């Protein structure tokens, strides 16, 4: 018998090893972690499958590693699908489905020494107990009062006794020492009150009934839960998961960003207690290892987290929830470029479990799948408690700018927005201001010679950050001191153009000095703790105006927010991307949904220079169907998703000529291999022609037969020599979310 083993060695292939004949049957199986010799060095790898023959003389396996690091067999089928659909190697996929701390195999469970009372120590009235010294009696009575067991370190600090007293009690049989595994719980010190299921509205009850029906069906269709902001989707998730647990099955809940995970976990722990685990990259290695092994060992029944939580090693999965399913963050930037939303649907199909995709602004791909009968559409069109959706006012900033020029003033606040902020603050209510761009100014240029501060590593201008007085590239993170005069001609008149959240914060503080203002973007939110502190201050009314990027656009539920201002609504509308209108509509709708979630009605002001654009007009009416009805025919006419698939091939190198030649050579190999009716655009420079010091060329493939396109890409790469692939790798992105 031979085992096909995948190592984490960037070889792009798997290797056969012989199973020693003396090993008992069943010791080696698909998904188990083994040790084997690779080029004379002992390595850990995972068995993908067993087979009876090998095409070469295979070395024997050396050992099978401990069961806590085994790969759940049912995830192997999912890994195989990801490998074939996303044109990635088995090696790359297998090792991406495991947390780094698990796949490295270096982390161990933390063991803690405990002190435990023996049987004779539990009777304080015995003659032997009364014969002890007062100090020893005090130690034993303290432990009796505290339950009879304590970690040794904690006991030494509690009982006011030294090591010698403790050791004497151990030697005389009054106490016993034991070693126990202590899990590193991310929420160990959190006080989380329990809550009970809430009464459901008619729409919530109907949605829950649909999910329960899917849980009872052997091969259910995925459910697209299209619920407006504030319609109570989370309560539906909670009660659906409770039903799933009653069946003896497990559940996974995905959220689009790590920043949203703590508040989501809090709500789920309120309902389900320690049955909930959290999986995301913000945990320490020890916490991540313990949470993963809790799930693998069956001690946890619900996993909540960002993209990678989809691969939680449950063996009896009943339900997967993908919240805010439209979000681009579900797409992985590195190989394999999987989309967690789509992979969730496939895992549900492979494991016969229910899948719920929830959003107030569903992706057009999911909406189209409902139209085609592949998904089941369930709608929740009303907010809970009958609260209305907030009215949206659109302010034409072209008129505002012309009026401001006449008066010799310039501001990115319209008169209407300033007026409403004043009114909101006077009523002691709260305001959210949204701008999807960080920094103070987006350009720094010379008015005399035309110099513009641009990144040497990337094809972008630097963003100016005033607090640090630095120029920063948001792609490669290069930082430079901001010049006081033009580096080319020495002109002191250096001008700043554009604006971001840092400048909005400064102007807001100046215009509304009586208000407490805070900013949330990736510059200020450096960790989960800073995010939590700002949100707690906002909830406690210690912040009046919260300014932020898209991290405040979703998941926030503050009843006293009655005004939302969207500073520059069309900031992404004119990007060279066919999804720009869809993203703009979703962002405005999601941000607007933060207003009016309490007893007081809300209001939204959208500032734009393109008020007649259908994405903005549809968002103003909270009308997703109208937006889809206008957007989809254009997609169909131009053969864009959801009516076709895109595959983006990228070639990167430090030398522009090398990247260009590699792309041209691969295009010549690929073109005759592609299925009929596949459009091949390129090779051409990428829209961001240089990124992090490398020139980029790309080929865009478009067609309905995505499997045929991927197969052609595989054959094309197989025709390249290993030296060519090492020099300029071919990066394949199937169903890309961005084309830059």
At residue 529, does pLDDT exceed 80?
no
Specify whether the CB–CB gap between 218 and 352 falls below 8 A: yes
The region, left, alpha or beta by phi > 0 then psi within -120 to 50, assigned to residue 408 is left
Residues in the chain: 740
pLDDT at residue 515 above 90? yes
Burial 26-57 (b: 16+ CB within 10 A, else e): eebebbbbbbbebeeeebbbbbbeeeeeeeee
- Rounded Cα distance, 556 and 594, in Å: 7
Q: What is the pLDDT of residue 263?
A: 76
What's the mean pLDDT in 362-371?
96
Q: Would you say 646 and 701 are in contact if contact means Cβ atoms under 8 Å apart? A: yes
Cα 468 to the center of its chain, rounded Å: 29
Encode 139-185 in three state secondary structure: HHHHHHHCCCEEEHHHHHHHCCCCHHHHHHHHHCCCEEEEEEECCCC
Per the model's pLDDT, the better-predicted residue between 146 and 598 turns out to be 598
* pLDDT single digits (tens) 54-76: 888 889 999 888 766 677 778 89
pLDDT band for position 401 (50/70/90)?
confident
Q: What are residue 2's DSSP bridge partners? A: 18, 51
Span 179-200, pLDDT tens digits: 766 666 666 666 677 888 999 9
Task: List Cβ neighbours of 536 (8 Å cut-off, separation of 6 or more).
Answer: none
Residue 623 pLDDT class (50, 70, 90 cuts): very high
| Confidence at residue 67, expressed as pLDDT on a 0 to 100 scale | 65
Query: For position 216, what pLDDT does the model report?
Result: 94
Dump pLDDT digits (tens) for 109-119: 666 777 788 87
Tokens of 393: 């006012």
Q: Are 176 and 116 a contacting pair, CB within 8 Å? A: yes
Question: What CA–CA distance (Å, rounded) separates 172 from 302?
Answer: 45
Mean pLDDT for 401-410 is 68
Give the pLDDT of residue 703: 94
pTM for this entry: 0.87
- Indicate the SS3 state at residue 672: helix
Whole-number CA gyration radius for the chain:
30
The whole-chain average pLDDT of the chain stands at: 88
pLDDT bin (cut points 50, 70, 90) of residue 738 is: confident
Average pLDDT over residues 488-515: 90
Question: For 301-305, 513-517, 523-527, which range has the lowest pLDDT when averaged over its residues?
Answer: 523-527
Average pLDDT score over residue span 47-58: 88
Instruction: Give the model confidence (pLDDT) of 98-107 as tens digits.
Output: 877 776 766 6
How many whole angstroms separate alpha carbon 75 and alpha carbon 50? 16
Model confidence at 33, in pLDDT bands (50, 70, 90)?
A: confident
What is the per-residue pLDDT for 111?
Answer: 67
Measured between alpha carbons, how far is residue 619 from residues 193, 344, 431, 581, 593 in Å?
Answer: 37, 28, 20, 11, 11
CB 546 within 8 A of CB 520: yes
What is the model's pLDDT at position 186? 66
User: For residue 306, is pLDDT > 60?
Assistant: yes
pLDDT (0 to 100) of residue 433: 95
Q: Which residues share a beta bridge with 396?
A: 608
In this prediction, residue 188 carries a pLDDT of 64
Which of 35-49, 418-432, 570-584 has the highest average model confidence (pLDDT)? 418-432
Name the pLDDT band for 291 (thresholds 50, 70, 90): confident
How would you list the strands of the sheet with 470-472, edge to edge? 463-465, 470-472, 479-481
User: Is residue 258 very low, low, confident or very high in pLDDT (cuts 50, 70, 90)?
Assistant: confident
To which residue do tokens 């450096």 refer? 526
Overall average pLDDT of the 315-337 stretch? 93
> Residue 120's pLDDT is what?
81
Q: Per mean pLDDT, which range of 104-108, 486-490, 519-523, 526-530 is the poorest?
A: 104-108
Least confident range of 211-220, 471-480, 654-663: 471-480
DSSP state of 609: S
Of the pLDDT bands very low, low, confident and very high (cuts 50, 70, 90), residue 177 is confident
Rounded distance, CA 229 to CA 594, Å?
Answer: 8
Q: Residue 597 — very low, low, confident or very high, per pLDDT cuts 50/70/90?
A: confident
**90-127 burial: b if 16+ Cβ within 10 Å, else e:** bbbbbbbbbbebbbeeebeeeeeebbebeeebeeeeee
622's torsion region: left (phi>0), alpha (psi -120 to 50) or beta?
A: left
Please give the pLDDT value at position 416: 93
Lowest pLDDT segment from 2-11, 684-693, 727-736? 2-11
The pLDDT, as a whole number, for residue 521 is 87
Strand partners, 548: 434, 520
Average of per-residue pLDDT across 78-105? 85
Does residue 608 surpass a pLDDT of 90? yes
| Percent of all residues in the chain with a pLDDT value above 70, rounded to a whole number | 95
Structure-token pair, residue 21: 């004949």
Q: Quick one: tokens of 49?
A: 């499958």
Q: What is the predicted pLDDT for the residue at 734?
A: 96
DSSP strand E in 677-721: where?
679-691, 694-703
- Average pLDDT (721-729) is 87
- Mean pLDDT is lowest, of 131-135, 178-182, 621-625, for 178-182
Q: What angle do CA 705, 706, 711 make, to 5 degrees?
A: 100
Most confident of 113-127, 256-270, 623-637: 623-637
Q: How far apart are CA 630 and CA 617, in angstroms?
A: 11
Cis peptide before 336 (omega within 30 of 0): yes
Residue ranges of alpha helices (H) inside 622-734 are 624-637, 656-670, 706-718, 722-727
Q: What is the DSSP letter of 68?
A: G
Q: What is the pLDDT of residue 31?
A: 85
| pLDDT value of residue 408 | 56
Q: Of residues 728 and 123, which shows the higher confidence score?
A: 728
Q: Which of helix, strand or coil describes residue 569?
A: coil
Closest CA to 251 of 238, 260, 233, 234: 238
The answer to whether residue 95 scores a pLDDT higher than 70 is: yes
What does the pLDDT read at residue 157? 67
> Could you tell me the two tokens for 502?
């840092």
């Amino acid at each position: 018998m031979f085992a096909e083993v995948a190592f984490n060695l960037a070889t792009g292939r798997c290797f056969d090893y012989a199973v020693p004949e003396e090993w008992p049957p069943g010791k080696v199986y698909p998904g188990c972690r083994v040790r084997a010799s690779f080029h004379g060095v002992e390595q850990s790898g995972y068995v993908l499958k067993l087979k009876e023959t090998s095409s070469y003389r295979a070395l024997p396996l050396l050992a099978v590693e401990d069961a806590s690091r085994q790969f759940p067999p049912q995830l192997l089928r999912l890994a195989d699908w990801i490998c074939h659909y996303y044109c990635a190697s088995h090696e790359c996929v297998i090792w991406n489905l495991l947390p780094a701390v698990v796949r490295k195999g270096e982390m161990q469970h933390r063991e803690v020494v405990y002190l435990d009372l023996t049987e004779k120590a539990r009777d304080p009235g015995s003659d032997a107990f009364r014969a002890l010294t007062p100090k020893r009696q005090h130690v034993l009575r303290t432990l009796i009062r505290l339950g009879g067991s304590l970690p040794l370190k904690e006991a030494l600090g509690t009982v006011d006794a030294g090591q010698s007293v403790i050791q004497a009690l151990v030697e005389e049989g009054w106490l016993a020492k034991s070693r126990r595994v202590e899990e590193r719980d991310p929420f160990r010190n959190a006080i989380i009150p329990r809550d009970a299921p809430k009464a459901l509205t008619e729409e919530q009850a109907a949605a829950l009934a649909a999910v329960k029906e899917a849980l009872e069906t052997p091969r259910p269709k995925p459910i697209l839960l299209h619920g407006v902001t504030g319609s109570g989707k989370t309560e539906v998730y909670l009660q659906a998961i409770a039903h799933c647990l009653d069946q003896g099955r497990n559940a996974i809940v995905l959220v689009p960003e790590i920043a949203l995970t703590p508040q989501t976990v809090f709500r789920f722990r309120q309902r389900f207690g320690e049955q909930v685990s959290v999986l995301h990259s913000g945990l320490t290695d020890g916490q991540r290892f313990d949470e993963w092994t809790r799930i693998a060992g069956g001690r946890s029944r619900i996993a909540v987290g960002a993209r990678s939580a989809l691969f939680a090693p449950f063996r009896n999965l009943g339900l997967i929830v993908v919240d805010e399913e439209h979000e681009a963050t579900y797409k992985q930037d590195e190989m394999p470029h999987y989309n967690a939303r789509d992979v969730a649907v496939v895992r549900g199909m492979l494991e016969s479990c229910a899948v719920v995709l929830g959003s107030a602004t569903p992706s057009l791909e999911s909406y189209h799948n409902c139209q085609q009968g592949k998904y089941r559409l369930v709608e929740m069109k009303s907010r809970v408690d009958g609260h209305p959706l907030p009215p949206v006012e659109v302010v034409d900033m072209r008129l505002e700018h012309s009026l401001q020029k006449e008066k010799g003033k310039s501001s990115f606040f319209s008169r209407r927005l300033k007026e409403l902020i004043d009114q909101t603050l006077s009523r002691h209510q709260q305001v959210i201001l949204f701008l999807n761009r960080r920094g103070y100014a987006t350009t720094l240029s010379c008015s005399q010679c035309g110099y513009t501060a641009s990144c040497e590593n990337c094809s972008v201008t630097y963003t100016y950050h005033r607090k640090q007085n630095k120029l920063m590239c948001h792609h490669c993170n290069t930082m430079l001191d901001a010049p006081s005069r033009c580096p080319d001609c020495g002109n002191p008149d250096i001008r700043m153009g554009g604006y971001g959240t840092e400048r909005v914060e400064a102007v807001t503080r100046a215009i509304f000095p009586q208000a407490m203002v805070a900013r949330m973007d990736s510059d200020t939110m450096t960790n989960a703790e800073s995010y939590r502190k700002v949100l707690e201050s906002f909830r406690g009314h210690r912040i009046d105006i919260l300014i932020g990027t898209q991290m405040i656009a979703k998941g926030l539920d503050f009843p006293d927010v009655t005004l939302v201002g969207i500073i520059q609504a069309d900031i992404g509308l004119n990007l060279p991307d066919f999804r720009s209108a869809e993203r703009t509509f979703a962002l405005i709708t999601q941000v607007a949904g933060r207003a009016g979630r309490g007893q007081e009605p809300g209001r939204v002001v959208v500032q734009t220079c393109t008020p007649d654009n259908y994405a903005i007009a549809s968002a103003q009416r909270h009308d997703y169907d109208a937006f889809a009805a206008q957007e989809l025919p254009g997609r169909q006419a131009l053969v864009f998703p959801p009516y076709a698939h895109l595959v983006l091939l990228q070639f990167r190198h430090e030398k522009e000529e090398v990247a260009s030649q590699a792309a041209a050579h691969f295009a010549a190999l690929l073109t005759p291999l592609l299925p009929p009716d596949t459009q091949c655009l390129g090779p051409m420079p990428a829209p961001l022609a240089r990124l992090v010091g490398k020139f980029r060329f790309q080929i865009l493939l478009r067609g309905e037969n995505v499997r045929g396109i991927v197969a052609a890409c595989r054959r094309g790469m197989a025709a390249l020599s290993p030296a060519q692939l090492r020099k300029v790798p071919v990066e394949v992105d199937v169903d890309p979310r961005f084309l830059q």
